Structure 1
Amino acid sequence: MRDDILSLSREDFDDLSTLASLNHVVVRGMTTFIEIARSANDDIRAEWALNALNAEQERIDNAIPFLHDICRAFEENGNDVTVIKSLDHWPDLGSDLDLYTNAAPEQVIKLMTQRFNATVSARSWGDRLAGKWNFEIPGLPESVEIHVGRLGQTGEQSAIASSLMARTRQVQVAGRTFRVTSKSDRLLISTLQRMYRHFYFRLCDIVDSASLVENDGVDFQDLHDAASRADIWEGTATYLAIVSDYVRKYRGKGVDLPKLVTSSARFGGDATFYARGFIRVPIMPQSAKLYGSQLAGILKKRELHNGARLSLLPWLATAAVVGQKLTGSDKGIW
């Protein structure tokens, strides 16, 4: 890796920087890049990386106070709120600011527009099903995405949402206190994003989840029980198996997962492939089977409303693909 870094052209470095941004590892990646370049007395490449690091740090330093002020405003208004996803990558930060609240939608809109002079972004079909709103705030380049009362691509995950706030914990980030999801819920939300919606992993997903399991510790029985209630245990186990396989590939040793997890995983890293900057999860047949299992579990419990929502997912995905081919964008659908 050292020789590869020291031989990068400026164009190659810019491509690497873009890839790092897509995968939310700019701070961690550029810090390592600078150390390697400086150890070889390569001041030119060290300066490239330092400039990229400083630009990203400036973005983060601007966003964190906004995020903290938004959370505090909800609490002062008597509404529970927790940060989801965005702080999972720390010291890196997501490309938008994600929160969950059980406040009423009209309360959320009123608070954001009146307190922060925010503009409500146009909502796609997927946004409406998922129960989420996006807001643009003056002075904040990142969009603020607020999930209201529901989780999941079609808002089908009332099981996770109903207990989310009671299981939150507090963390210190950049000298500020934030309320974030429990370790188990953090993995469940990552699973929903990667295995049931986007069907790809970013480098940060691998690094963050491996670190959470190995350094922070995860109660796997609690994770199993919470995922089973949400009918995504097999997807969660598969998510962790993929993480472990990729860590093993590049570190030589995978994440230590209990049999409870490994015996439930449907497939691992060998079924995935790299394309267009991300680690891709095949939709057919692997992800389709996980989706079918989730839908069957919801219907078995006679959660007909949630089942009806989830059953719309293939049609929504198909419409998004058609829209992408016809117009070059899935905006307004997905």
Structure 2
Amino acid sequence: MPNQSAPRLSNESMILLSKLLLSRRDKDDSLSHAITNISRNEFGDLLYLANTNHVIVRGLEVLFRLTCHARDDVRSEWAATALSAEHARIKNATSFLHEICGAFERESLDVTVIKSLDHWPDLGSDLDLYTSADSETVSRLMKKRFRAQIAPRSWGDRLACKWNFLIPGLPEAVEIHMGRLGQTGEQVRIASQVPRRARVIQIEDLTFHVSAISDRIMISTLQRMYRHFYFRLCDIVDSAGLVESGAIDYDDLCASAGAAGIWEGVATYLAIVSDYVRQYRGTGLDLPESVSTAARFGGAEVYFARDFLRVPIMPQSASLYGSQLAGLLRKRELNNSARLGLLPWLATAAVVGQKLTGSDKGIW
């Protein structure tokens, strides 16, 4: 498993991992040379970064193939050992996820897997679900069926209407969003359509209901452009794959995101993905003009810091927040506008808490 302590990672580590995931490897002879010359400590740093960015399987499978081709038995063994541990974690987590979804369905409760399976064959650090069921019903089900405990809830969790459940035998928390999405629970419109638009996918021998492609992109946008203000590499790889496969219905995406007041954020999200891909392939993604026109900024504004690709909050992300709030006010969604209006205060409290105690726990 990846190192538990967080090493100080250089931009070179991110570049190497990005090359493994995005470059045209048949045209990049330097990649094989770089991989077969990394030290054990450098491999540990790479593994840590792959873990935090949810790309262990995809990144290390490429590294394993390259080292096998170069007959580098030592580094091949490093990769094989890490992959084996990650596959075991994922198998356990998906087995629990399938049982949880089945328990909801047996109680005639809708449930959709959001975010977690977007990274397949990788898996996130927790299991995310959406349901329109009420919290009392869900809590009773989780406690009775899985002996789950409810983790302490932050101010942000309460606003967002999400609960984290801790289940014996499952290292990952199960995060269940109920009736709302968005950092402050302001997105009722997107949330309401998730169950009825959900699609069915097969993961090995297990079946799951997951969010529709348009909803998936909007949920990713809410998380990256309106809440965390950073991208994981999995976001880049996942979204690039959707664009390249032709899976995105841009008319539906534009209409849905526009109705939710986040079309400019979605377009900016896709523009950043395209620009990051361009760095490693020479060409970006084939995005429609409607996306390019609506995007507020692109990858030139993004920078690597503290393990992730950071999106500037001022003025770039702040302007997207302002547009979203203005859109809710124009539609007279006063309750949702009031919720979203609390975001700057919540963020300020988190910053103050971080400075005073070294943690924003209980706030963000």
TM range (shorter): over 0.9
1:34-73 pair list within 5 angstroms = 34-73=64-103
Q: Does 1:159 align with 2:192?
A: no
Whole-Å Cα distance in 1 between the matches of residues 58 and 303 of structure 2? 24
**TM-score, length basis structure 2:** 0.91
Aligned match of 1:291: 321
Look up the equivalent residue of 2:110 and give its one-letter code: D
Look up the equivalent residue of 2:157 and give its one-letter code: D
Look up the equivalent residue of 2:101 and give its one-letter code: C
Aligned match of 1:93: 123
What SS does the aligned partner of 1:142 have?
coil
Aligned match of 1:29: 59
**TM-score, length basis structure 1:** 0.99
Look up the equivalent residue of 1:77 and give its one-letter code: E
Whole-Å Cα distance in 1 between the matches of residues 194 and 43 of structure 2? 41
Relative to structure 2, which stretch is displaced further, 140-149 or 216-225?
216-225
What SS does the aligned partner of 1:24 have?
coil
How far apart are 1:174 and its partner, in Å? Answer: 2.1
Aligned match of 1:326: 356
Whole-Å Cα distance in 2 between the matches of residues 188 and 282 of structure 1? 19
What SS does the aligned partner of 2:173 have?
strand
Q: Does 1:243 align with 2:273?
A: yes
What SS does the aligned partner of 1:150 have?
coil
Relative distance call for 1:94 and 1:216 in structure 2 (3 A) is: farther
Look up the equivalent residue of 1:11 and give its one-letter code: N
What SS does the aligned partner of 2:353 have?
helix
Aligned match of 1:315: 345
How many residues are treated as equivalent by the alignment?
334
How far apart are 1:75 and its partner, in Å? Answer: 0.6
What SS does the aligned partner of 1:139 have?
coil
Look up the equivalent residue of 1:225 and give its one-letter code: A
Relative distance call for 1:216 and 1:141 in structure 2 (3 A) is: farther
Identity %: 66
CA-to-partner distance for each residue in 1:148-179, whole Å, 9 max, x for gaps? 00000000000101111111100001211100
1:1-334 pair list within 5 angstroms = 1-334=31-364
Look up the equivalent residue of 2:266 and give its one-letter code: T
In the alignment, structure 2 segments of 5+ residues that lack a partner are 1-30
Look up the equivalent residue of 2:74 and give its one-letter code: I
Look up the equivalent residue of 1:157 and give its one-letter code: Q
CA-to-partner distance for each residue in 1:236-292, whole Å, 9 max, x for gaps? 000000000111111122111101111000000011111111111000000000000
How far apart are 1:216 and its partner, in Å? Answer: 4.8
How far apart are 1:4 and its partner, in Å? Answer: 1.2
What SS does the aligned partner of 1:161 have?
helix
Q: CA RMSD in A?
A: 0.6
How far apart are 1:302 and its partner, in Å? Answer: 0.6
Whole-Å Cα distance in 2 between the matches of residues 11 and 71 of structure 1? 40
CA-to-partner distance for each residue in 1:73-126, whole Å, 9 max, x for gaps? 001001000000000000000100000000011000000001000000010000
CA-to-partner distance for each residue in 1:187-239, whole Å, 9 max, x for gaps? 00000000000000111000000101211511000000000111000000000
Look up the equivalent residue of 1:296 and give its one-letter code: A
Whole-Å Cα distance in 2 between the matches of residues 174 and 192 of structure 1? 29
In the alignment, structure 1 segments of 5+ residues that lack a partner are none
Whole-Å Cα distance in 2 between the matches of residues 174 and 84 of structure 1? 18
Relative to structure 2, which stretch is displaced further, 32-41 or 181-190?
32-41
Look up the equivalent residue of 1:126 and give its one-letter code: G
Whole-Å Cα distance in 2 between the matches of residues 192 and 269 of structure 1? 17
Look up the equivalent residue of 1:33 and give its one-letter code: L
Q: Which runs of 4+ in 1 moved over 6 A?
A: none
